[in-house]
Structure 1
Amino acid sequence: MLPGLFVLLLASVLHAQAPAPVGGGSEALADRIKKEGLDNSQVMQWQDYLCNHIGQRLTGSFNYDRAVTWTKQQFEKMGLAVTLEEWGEWRVRWDRGQWTGRMVKPQQVEFQVATPAWTAPTKGEVRGRIVAMPADAKSAKKLVKILKKEPVYLFEDRPRARQGRAQEVQGWIEQGRILGIVQTATSTGLTDKRFKNQIRVFGDSRRAPKRDYALRPKTPQIVVRDDHGALLTKRLKSRRPVIVEFDIRNRFTPGPVVLNNVVARLEGSARPKEAVIVSAHLDSWHQATGATDNGTGVCTTLEAARILTTLGVKPKRTILFILFGGEEQGLLGSGGYVKRHRADMNLVSAVFNHDNGTNWAHSLTITDAMLPQLKGVFAPILELKSPDKKHRGATFELITKPTMKPGGGSDHVSFQVTGVPAWQWGLKGPRPYGYGWHSQWDTYSIVVPEYQRHNATVIALAAFGVANLDKMLTREGVLRRGQK
């Protein structure tokens, strides 16, 4: 056994050493939580509505606001006190509509297309010639001759194709000679090479939503699937003009756009000012429906709240269920929350954040000093059967190390940097996160129901157990930003 690394593998060992499970509560209550979470789960009903009725939830979009309203209503139906906490305001709203594209000549081919967020629409179906991005002065001179006759779409099939010509291209755009910039998915540098024909699109949130409506972009930025891009490359090598048509129905709306987090409160019975936080981010990127980034986390947060409120549990400490906005643009909602409640961070015992997809919760890495408090909390979790029938070994592991450093790319980091014990769950399973992550495939169909039931149950048990500890969770070994 390595010093500073201790893995709890057997629930029987924990029972021999640990106090009563669920932070001092009864085994019967832990069993009721497990039964409610596994046998009466509503997690996939939440997932269906969020993904298939509301859909994508880009921060600052109408759909994001719909999701805020809907999740607030669901928490209120559970009897929780809910507040919308503002963390920012943008000058414009942006919503995507339908995207279509095709090659018209020399052959007819329908394209799969996407656009980055906060890019311009076309004015209906816009047909025009498409020309390769000039690679040198000679091809640029040739393009200028074409532009004198007609506006065109510019096509990029390699990364940084505009390098060295950006000013020239911008000039053509300002002259109204460019119908749109079209590029292959791979040329964006965003795709995962393991997955053929994946499209990933993001957006410039640092500038676009913060500009005045009058300064909104006017030229569409369009991404086509790689196989369609390869066909364009091939056709552009011939002398015959290539004609394409795109209909990009994006919409800018003048602001101001108020940006909110959703905060639901299950009041503590003994120490209500102290809190355990269960969190996920409500926003998503806009191409698909944000099923695993982060609909899965939203729905396990809702379901953990439902499990506990259905059973009428009374935790000693308050449990906050928080759905953050602006995570995809740089942890904006959670950062705003921590800034607003900075004086109360010493009262946050723990943060459990779910934002890593549809596999199942298998581990949590804690400090050595936390083990005496947490082994009782996690004892009933280790008794759970694995949701993956092919899995062999422990269903859950607590992994201990001397220290915890801030790290990761989700909302728990906003708390970690202030010294709050905050985690992303360690997940295990066959679904590669990179497949759906920010791609056209992040839809309801890739979510695994058995894993979601398991995750929500684990979260409910962990949150209630930590909320019921005799003392707040120790921060020994928890490092703030910059500490070593």
Structure 2
Amino acid sequence: MNTFRLIALAGSLAVTVPVLAQQGTKADAATLAKIKDEGLNRSKVMETAFYLTDVCGPRLAGSDGLSRANEWTKKQLTDWGLTKANIEPWGTFGRGWDIEKSYVAMTAPYYHTLIGAPKAWTPSTNGALKKRVVVVKAATEADLAKYQGQLRNKIVLFDVPNPPKTTFEADARRHSDEELAKMADYKLAAPAAAATPAPADAERMAARRAQFALRAKLADMVQSEGAAAILSTRGGSHGTFFTSNGAPFAADAKPVLPELEMAPEDQLRLIRLAEAGVPVEIELETRTRFQIQDLKGYNVVAEIPGTDKKLKSEVVMLGGHLDSWHAATGATDNAAGCAIMMEAVRILKATGVQPRRTIRIALWGAEEQGLFGSRNYVKNHFADPATMKLLPEHEKLAAYFNLDNGAGKIRGIYAQGNEAVASIFQDWLKPFADLGASTVTLRNTGGTDHLSFDAVGLPGFQFIQDPLDYNTRTHHTNMDTYERLPADDLKQASVVVASFVYQAAMRDAKLPRKPLPAAKPDTKS
């Protein structure tokens, strides 16, 4: 899940359920029962998740791992009987990047292996390095001057911004009944005119911009001073560290130093020793490889053809992002979502449903860098939010359903401020109340690929999921592995998604839409 997108303001509305006749089609209870039976008793979702994580490996945008996943998912969807399976280019992305070797250890004052991994898009070391360390801490630009002449041929240790603290709270949790009730009961506020940010908000934004500027100057200074490598951390605890990119992926990005992100406990130990005057020596070697032969980005798409003569040209879409970060195997972010969406279409094929509309699954690339795969797919097929000039396919999309909030079971759905769909979704969730899914909220949620559709006035939705340990342990960390996937949760989610997709494909009318948004010329592609 991408966390660098703005999250829309929250809101929700209690809804009432109209009679089924008002929905435009009657729910087929027998088919929903078949979907439930297939998904809960003959599931293949964990097998799919195994291939996406353990077999394909990390799936950073442009990497060999993502290419393996693209090829495997295309073949698997074809083997399940879907048509038009294709690895579809969406435009230019930039350089791919893979790790071929990574090793880091403390060799003085004693030997100890350390937990860390190269930051994405950083270069290799010049073979194995064994160097003394220097701690660099700078709160202002003026602080940089004291390190001049001190860094040549050294390994630089950056400070730890969020040191681990003892906590008595569990990592994982589920949504409480009270939380879900609050989501369902909260009233959607009336649209308000754009307001000037509050002074506190403006101060925070200014402080963040200053922090980014200082970090850039610090990196430039360390490089110009001739340092050999950098060790840094974004936080974490108990051996968990968060990962990110250490350089741009653009083909013309300027060179940077080799840099590893570390478990904060290891980083803090090195800092304490060095600041106490104990000589610290680090041995490290990274070998990374840039892929520049193909700078394109890709999505995987496949279809279950519609059967209704009048409606088969319309499309119901479902999807999740296939790319991940590289320190683990991207299990909860977002192999889980992709495995569930793949399982949903497998269930529909296995139960032999004949959807009136065409059902199209899309597994997105480069979501982690800014929703690139879905944003460019929408731009290529439906509309460009910068101009809001609609393409013919825009009128044909009935709905898009997304999953990208970890591996927790589905508890309901965000209606994304679309009041007209709330009662429809409430009715569709009725058969799954016994599985814990019953909440509909008009609250907006951000950070996932449904935003690409919502941005051009298309009905795009993200499901509500139990958080489990997504935000505390797995999201963008070295702990995001297969072991974090609860099978029963993934099975439940697959059944709910398959049902929603089926009902959207069978309904007489497409799902209601919100008014078209205004063009946003400053939107970046």
Distance 1:251 1:106, change over 3 A: same
Query: Which deviations, in whole Å up to 9, do the C-alpha atoms of 1:375-430 show, x marking residues without a partner?
Result: 55333333xx33xxxxxxxx2224355xx76x401100000011111111011364
CA contact under 8 A between 1:23 and 1:466: conserved in structure 2?
A: no
Aligned partners of 2:362 and 2:409: how far apart in 1?
A: 21
The answer to whether residue 93 in structure 2 is matched with residue 106 in structure 1 is no
Aligned match of 2:481: 443
Aligned match of 2:80: 78
User: Unaligned stretches of 5+ in structure 1?
Assistant: 9-13, 387-394
- Structure 1 letter corresponding to 2:40: L
Q: Residues 282-431 of structure 1: matches in 2 within 5 Å?
A: 282-342=322-382, 343=391, 344-366=393-415, 367-371=418-422, 373-382=424-433, 385-386=434-435, 395-399=436-440, 401=442, 407-428=445-466, 430-431=468-469
Aligned partners of 1:351 and 1:474: how far apart in 2?
A: 12
The answer to whether residue 149 in structure 2 is matched with residue 144 in structure 1 is yes
Aligned partners of 1:163 and 1:372: how far apart in 2?
A: 48
Aligned partners of 1:292 and 1:73: how far apart in 2?
A: 22
Aligned partners of 2:74 and 2:159: how far apart in 1?
A: 44
CA contact under 8 A between 1:24 and 1:468: conserved in structure 2?
A: no
1:250 Cα deviation after fit? 1.7
Please give the TM-score of this superposition, normalised by the length of structure 1. 0.84
Please give the TM-score of this superposition, normalised by the length of structure 2. 0.78
Distance 1:134 1:396, change over 3 A: closer
Query: Which deviations, in whole Å up to 9, do the C-alpha atoms of 1:357-378 show, x marking residues without a partner?
Result: 1111111243442355445533
Aligned partners of 2:441 and 2:151: how far apart in 1?
A: 66
Query: Which deviations, in whole Å up to 9, do the C-alpha atoms of 1:175-214 show, x marking residues without a partner?
Result: 6x3110112343xxxx5xxx4443112116xx732224xx
Residue aligned with 1:24, SS: coil
1:167 Cα deviation after fit? 5.4
Structure that is richer in strand per residue: 1
Distance 1:209 1:346, change over 3 A: same
The answer to whether residue 13 in structure 2 is matched with residue 5 in structure 1 is yes
Residue aligned with 2:62, SS: coil
Query: Which deviations, in whole Å up to 9, do the C-alpha atoms of 1:302-328 show, x marking residues without a partner?
Result: 100100111221111111111010110
- Structure 2 letter corresponding to 1:101: V
Aligned partners of 2:218 and 2:365: how far apart in 1?
A: 37
Aligned match of 1:201: 243
- Structure 1 letter corresponding to 2:341: T
Aligned partners of 2:403 and 2:268: how far apart in 1?
A: 38
1:171 Cα deviation after fit? 5.6
1:235 Cα deviation after fit? 1.4
- Structure 1 letter corresponding to 2:45: V
CA contact under 8 A between 2:134 and 2:151: conserved in structure 1?
A: no
1:25 Cα deviation after fit? 5.2
Q: Residues 272-291 of structure 1: matches in 2 within 5 Å?
A: 272-291=312-331
CA contact under 8 A between 2:136 and 2:147: conserved in structure 1?
A: no
CA contact under 8 A between 1:365 and 1:399: conserved in structure 2?
A: yes
Aligned partners of 1:22 and 1:251: how far apart in 2?
A: 55
Aligned partners of 1:74 and 1:100: how far apart in 2?
A: 35
Distance 1:168 1:38, change over 3 A: closer
Residue aligned with 2:498, SS: helix
Aligned partners of 2:74 and 2:278: how far apart in 1?
A: 57
The answer to whether residue 233 in structure 2 is matched with residue 233 in structure 1 is no
CA contact under 8 A between 2:45 and 2:491: conserved in structure 1?
A: yes
1:85 Cα deviation after fit? 1.7
Aligned partners of 2:133 and 2:222: how far apart in 1?
A: 14
What's the Cα RMSD here? 3.0
- Structure 2 letter corresponding to 1:93: G
1:333 Cα deviation after fit? 0.4
Aligned partners of 1:322 and 1:424: how far apart in 2?
A: 14
1:139 Cα deviation after fit? 8.9
Residue aligned with 2:268, SS: helix
Distance 1:127 1:463, change over 3 A: same
Distance 1:163 1:131, change over 3 A: farther
User: Unaligned stretches of 5+ in structure 2?
Assistant: 1-10, 162-209, 383-390, 521-525
Query: Which deviations, in whole Å up to 9, do the C-alpha atoms of 1:217-266 show, x marking residues without a partner?
Result: 35201222111112111211244432111121221233233321111111
Q: Residues 170-181 of structure 1: matches in 2 within 5 Å?
A: 170=220, 173-174=223-224, 177-181=226-230
The answer to whether residue 517 in structure 2 is matched with residue 480 in structure 1 is yes
Aligned partners of 1:165 and 1:425: how far apart in 2?
A: 36
Aligned partners of 2:466 and 2:95: how far apart in 1?
A: 40
Structure 1, 373-382 or 464-473: larger mean CA deviation? 373-382
Aligned match of 1:223: 261
Aligned partners of 2:501 and 2:374: how far apart in 1?
A: 19
Aligned match of 1:465: 503
